[in-house]
Structure 1
Amino acid sequence: MIGWLFFCFHGSSFNVVYHPLLRTKDCEMEFVKAILLGLLQGATEFLPVSSSGHLVLAEAFFHIQEASMAFDVALHMGTLLAILVYFRKEFLALFRAMLRPDRSDETVCANQHLALLLFVATIPAAVLGKLFGDQIEANLRQPAVVASTLAGLGLILLWAEKIGRRGRSFHELTLVDAIIIGLAQACALVPGVSRSGITMTVGLFRNLDRPTAARFSFLMSAPIVAGAGLLHLVKIIKEGFPPGQEAFFLYGFLASAISGYLFIAFLMRYIQTRSFAVFAYYRIVLAGVVVWTMFR
């Protein structure tokens, strides 16, 4: 699926907006390419393969140019919707627990504890992103960095699969887990690392079972994606929304939301009986392709 999307990009010579959107005379092709970018975002945001890394590679090797922030926000809002819809029961339970602080109800207490863990896990990425996000974006958004982080985390993920005991369930998450996994999430500011990849990997090192590592990773991503999206949305409102592009953003948003939901569902089913190894090998192979392309 991901490889097919890259093939489509290569044959199209994209010319885009922040998250790329082609400006051509053929309006239908613009819609098609907006949808393809939404599909790519939805697929790579939740699989441990790095969405930002794939888009950096698309920019570098398929002649995609950066442009407006608005399309980027639209795609990320699509993936946020996918998270909220797929985990709607969990988020509703968290919301109710915060409104009804009944200490005598074990379920309410468990959800309040989870809300605390998610809050703590969000802090490192939020703070470091605010302080260093722009510098990282300006200096590290390049193929050599992406190749290194793709391969590096691929090897670390294989190591985590080998040594992690995977004996702890979702209800055994602790404050220490939240702090460590939250710090790991901050590392995903570097292109190619993969937010889901690094948090799931550290979850395995913390001896969480695979579904628990993935579930906590997805839940903790919602505040970060929502917060970043709102900050960018404020900038867009101040600068003015790009005229005449509303339909393209809507298509990208919907494609990102639908594909994101499907890939969350796929991964949660897949890891019930299988390991993350295939994604680790994919990262390593893709890193090799990047290096080969750089020096050919």
Structure 2
Amino acid sequence: MDWLQAALLALLQGVTEFLPISSSAHLILLPALTGWPDQGLAFDVAVHVGSLTAVVAYFRRELAGMARDWLASLRRREAVGESRLAWAVLWGTVPVGLAGLLLKDVVEAQLRGPLVIAAATLVFALALWGADALHSGRRDEHALRWRDVAVIGLAQAIALIPGTSRSGITMTAGLLVGLTREAAARFSFLLAIPVIVLAGGLKGLDLATAAHPVDWGAIAVGAGVSAVSAYLCIAAFLAAIQRIGMLPFVVYRLILGAALLLFAW
């Protein structure tokens, strides 16, 4: 793949990883429209590393406090400062981790078709619209109850269906349990960290056993562009979401889903 292709795919991944618009739908549609070949496993790992770097860099202060207080909570066997939020992120990751291990082959073999992705893009766009229209949440992510974490964690497992959008479904669940838009987005982004680590780790294991050559120039471009675009996307989304709401993303997803249906037929 040439560097322009690498940069555009990484930009697409970096932006769509954290917006509620489904990265998998875009990464299938763009190569189909352009005729580009599959970008390969090594490039997938690189853009995952870029996305992870972005979200860790953006939340670096919060993550440092969460890690410190989580370790203190283990020693003292009681909640300490931000430890409750750290535990919420860890427990919220368990459903998608288990589902990913159990259903990985099924998802890869049966759920990656354009019709499935189009249907998921449309259905979960409407779910996001409904949750945003009905929500009257006042709580932030620090006020999550354990049942709220369970609901959001189970919703995240649904995102194994391509087209669902991991960020979209977790924000939908966050709104439904009473979080503000910004809090739902922030918790969704924090949940992305262990998920990206798990997904990137699985792809890394696959890459370690593969015998394909690696284009290190394209890898560097992919990781760098993904990191910068994802960081800017997170910052812009959190700055605007309380004011603009989810409707622009819902409308965009409906258009995208319709385009995927046309492509599939």
Shared fold, TM over 0.5? yes
Shift of residue 212, structure 1, vs aligned partner: 0.5
Q: In structure 1, what is the equivalent of residue 73 of structure 2?
A: 101
Q: CA–CA distance in 2 between the matches of 1:129 and 1:38? A: 24
State whether residues 122 and 224 of structure 1, in contact with CA within 8 Å, keep that contact through their aligned partners in structure 2: yes
Q: CA–CA distance in 2 between the matches of 1:83 and 1:250? A: 18
Q: CA–CA distance in 1 between the matches of 2:217 and 2:42? A: 12
SS in 2 for 1:165: coil
Q: In structure 1, what is the equivalent of residue 146 of structure 2?
A: 175
Larger radius of gyration: 1
Aligned equivalent of 2:56, options 78, 81, 84: 84
Q: CA–CA distance in 1 between the matches of 2:5 and 2:36? A: 12
Q: CA–CA distance in 1 between the matches of 2:203 and 2:254? A: 32
Paired residues for 1:77-156 under 5 Å: 77-101=49-73, 109-156=80-127
Q: In structure 1, what is the equivalent of residue 187 of structure 2?
A: 216
Q: In structure 1, what is the equivalent of residue 222 of structure 2?
A: 252
Q: 1:180 to 1:63 in 2, by over 3 A?
A: same
Identity among equivalent pairs (%): 40
In structure 2, runs of 5+ residues without a counterpart are: none
Q: In structure 2, what is the equivalent of residue 281 of structure 1?
A: 251
Aligned equivalent of 1:230, options 197, 201, 204: 201
State whether residues 70 and 80 of structure 2, in contact with CA within 8 Å, keep that contact through their aligned partners in structure 1: no
Q: What do residues 33-66 of structure 1 show as CA deviations (whole Å, max 9, x unaligned)?
A: 1111110001110110000111122344433333
Q: In structure 2, what is the equivalent of residue 71 of structure 1?
A: 43
Further displaced range: 155-164 or 63-72: 63-72
Q: 1:134 to 1:62 in 2, by over 3 A?
A: farther
Further displaced range: 224-233 or 285-294: 285-294
SS in 1 for 2:17: helix
Q: What do residues 119-155 of structure 1 show as CA deviations (whole Å, max 9, x unaligned)?
A: 1100010010011122112211121111111111111
Aligned equivalent of 1:206, options 164, 177, 185: 177
Q: CA–CA distance in 2 between the matches of 1:34 and 1:77? A: 14
State whether residues 102 and 109 of structure 1, in contact with CA within 8 Å, keep that contact through their aligned partners in structure 2: no
Q: In structure 2, what is the equivalent of residue 48 of structure 1?
A: 20
Matched, 1:272 2:245: no
Q: Normalized against structure 1, the TM-score is what?
A: 0.84
State whether residues 129 and 189 of structure 1, in contact with CA within 8 Å, keep that contact through their aligned partners in structure 2: yes
Higher RCO (C-alpha under 8 Å, 6+ residues apart)? 2
Q: Normalized against structure 2, the TM-score is what?
A: 0.94
Aligned alpha-carbon RMSD (Å) = 1.9
Q: In structure 1, what is the equivalent of residue 132 of structure 2?
A: 161
Shift of residue 67, structure 1, vs aligned partner: 5.5
Q: CA–CA distance in 1 between the matches of 2:212 and 2:71? A: 36
